[in-house]
Structure 1
Amino acid sequence: MLNKKYIVSGLIAFFAGEALIVATIILPKAEIGSLADWVSGIGAMGAILGVIYQVHEQRTEFQQSKNADIAVALGITTKPIKAQDGTIGTSKPVAQTYCYNIGYSAGSFRFIGFATANTIERLKNNKPETKEERIKDPEYETLLCEARKFNRIGSRETSDYINYDLGLLKINFNDGDKIYAVYDDPLGKLYFSVDYIIIRKDNTDEN
Structure 2
Amino acid sequence: MLIRRPVLDAIAAGTVTCLFRRWDRPRVRVGGTQRTAVGVLEFTSVDPVDEAGLTADDARAAGFADLAALQRAQRGEGQLHRIGVRLAGPDPRVALRAKRRLSQADRAEIDARLARMDRASANGPWTAAVLELIAENPGVRAPDLAARMGRETLPFKRDVRKLKELGLTESLEVGYRLSPRGRAYRRG
Bigger proportion of residues as strand: 1
Q: TM-score, normalised by structure 2?
A: 0.23
TM-score, scaled relative to structure 1: 0.21
CA radius of gyration, larger in: 1
Q: Which structure's residues are more often helix, by fraction?
A: 2
